[in-house]
Amino acid sequence: MRFKRMWAIFMARNLEYFRDRAAFGWNFLFPFLIVAGFGIVFGGKSFSEYKVGVFPVENPRIGVHQPLQIPAGFQSSQYLEFVGVKSLAAGLTLLKHHDIEMLIQQGAPPYAYWINTSSPQGYVLEKILLSSIPSSGADRFFRKQVVHGREIRYIDWLFPGILGMNMMFSALWGVGYVVVRYRKNGVLKRLKATPLTAFEYMAAQMLSRIFLLMFTLVVVWIGCDMMFSFHVEGSYLNLAIVFFTGCLSLTSVGLVLASRGVSEEFTSGVLNFISWPMMFLSQVWFSLEGAPRWVRWVADMFPLTHLLVAVRKIMNDGATLTDVMPEVFILLVMTAVCMAAGAILFSWND
């Protein structure tokens, strides 16, 4: 393995990217537009689902006709999804992280309930709850409780998802689609005639993409932080390590797609088949709290899921690198598996 050959491919790919002004500019503009849009529409605070946590309930999946010891009028209200929560502590954690908008304790009246005061949905749910019985008896039937500790804004919860989504698209399309295009245009066939090895070429492509992803991440983070002043409970160094590991994993998936194939149309379809389910199931936009177990199993197959879980733990909960080591380990295992598969399957021509 020669470092000079890898460096030449690394620099050539970087220059190609920076000279493509449209793609270069869009990678910065796209996250800004999404963050700004959600910040303006939702005031940087909340989002539009109506989930009510009920405790103590062992099973998080509450059926439509499952009786609960809460006001019948509230339980029969439309557009509400009830999520079972085992304990008060678990429910308050979900409430602070916008996984639910209200927490209510079932049993005999008066019913204790909690809401996130920074969430308009919590305010609406409180009105629905209080109106479920005659107004004259509301004081006797309900007891509002205070949520202690810092309430997390929805924009703080959403921001890692936007960054992760942008990294995902850039990693998959910037590696998988580009290399397939090179193969179709005969560029790889010419490189095969040089002393460059397949491993050197793939390593250079991966390092180039990771460099560009981290560079874009820093620029977007600084720009968005100037607008919305994100609060980070944990260490920025730990965040950088987790994001770097996520870049490795997402880029390695792109290398597997790049290892074979000469059809840009087919590659585009495969990339969409992978990226869109990952975007919706990896909790980029909303939590999967209360979702069927099989949905969570599918979501756990995606590297983006583990990346966002780890980043949100550090950013919103102040977790250390040791706390997120399970997610980091899974990302590293996915990287190793995908790199090995890409190296075995790689072909200059086919």
* Count of beta carbons in the 10 Å neighbourhood of residue 50: 18
**Lowest mean pLDDT: which of 38-42, 116-120, 139-143?**
38-42
Instruction: Report the pLDDT value the prediction gives residue 278, as an integer from 0 to 100.
Output: 84
Question: Tens of pLDDT along 195-238?
Answer: 877 777 878 888 888 888 898 888 888 888 888 888 888 889 99
Q: How confident is the model at residue 95 (pLDDT cuts 50, 70, 90)?
A: confident
Q: Is a pLDDT exceeding 70 seen at residue 21? A: no
Question: Tens of pLDDT along 269-324?
Answer: 677 778 877 887 888 877 776 667 788 888 889 999 999 999 998 988 888 999 99
DSSP H or E segment with residue 84: strand 81-84
CA angle 84, 53, 55 (to 5 degrees): 60
Q: Give residue 149's region: left, alpha or beta (phi > 0; psi -120 to 50).
A: left
* Average pLDDT over all residues of the chain: 79
Average pLDDT on 184-192 reads 79
Percent of the chain having pLDDT more than 70? 82
Instruction: Report the pLDDT value the prediction gives residue 24, as an integer from 0 to 100.
Output: 62
Cα separation, 105 vs 159, in Å, equals 31
User: Looking at per-residue confidence, does 213 or 153 come out higher?
Assistant: 213
Q: Is a pLDDT exceeding 70 seen at residue 20? A: no
Q: Is a pLDDT exceeding 60 seen at residue 44? A: no
SS3 104: strand
At 180, the amino acid letter reads V
Listed in order, strand segments (DSSP E) in the chain are: 51-55, 81-84, 102-105, 111-115, 142-144
